Amino acid sequence: MPARRATAAGVSALLQYFYPIQEFMREGGSRAQAWGLVADLVEQGGPTTEGSTIFYMNEVWARARNLENARAGFAAAGDLTELDAGMMAPAPWLGSSGLGQTFDAYQIRAALDLEGLELDTPIYMDIKLPGSLEGWSKAELIDFVAAEMQQKLDDYDEDQLAALGIESGLTITGLTDVQIMQL
């Protein structure tokens, strides 16, 4: 019997739910429970996962685990700690084939701390960063990314801000849940 491998279509259908799956993992949920979560999200009107089975969840779960481990490694590092491979993971859509490769671009995703605003649900933004992160410290990356995200936020029009549930003129005071994805 040939070895079973996840197909791109089956995995792609589940990647639409990657961040809820990752959050569910962080909260202590299991793979099987995550499959139930995805089924609930589809039932609530989310995109279809046609072509996927729980078998494909194994691949998506492994990608989420890679990124979650990198997120935890970054969070645990001191501000002056130089960035290393343990703080980043291949972007989930690259799959596990990206492990061990050299990358020349990154996508940084983070939750925003906004001055004077308490949110029940965090607002995430991301930026793409070309080039190498070699020699960067954690603090340097956070300062750079916060400035880039502030510029992006300042450039949003009223409709884009409304979609985020925020008003114009807010200042980013910090970043949490920083995730470095290699592209």
pLDDT digits (tens, 9 = 90+) for 142-166: 999 999 999 999 999 999 999 988 8
DSSP string, the chain: -PPP---HHHHHHHHTTHHHHHHHHHTT--HHHHHHHHHHHHHTTPPP-TT--HHHHHHHHHHHHHHHHHHHHHHHS-TTPBP-GGGEEE-GGG-GGGTT---SEEEEEEEEEETT---SSPPEEEEEEES--TT-BHHHHHHHHHHHHHHHHHH--HHHHHHHT--TT--EEEEEEEEEEE-
pTM comes to 0.83
User: Has residue 10 got a pLDDT over 60?
Assistant: yes
- Percentage of the chain with pLDDT > 90? 63
Which position has the higher pLDDT, 99 or 123?
123
pLDDT tens-place string over residues 67-120: 999 999 999 999 999 999 999 998 888 765 555 566 689 999 999 999 988 888
- What pLDDT is stored for residue 96 in this prediction? 57
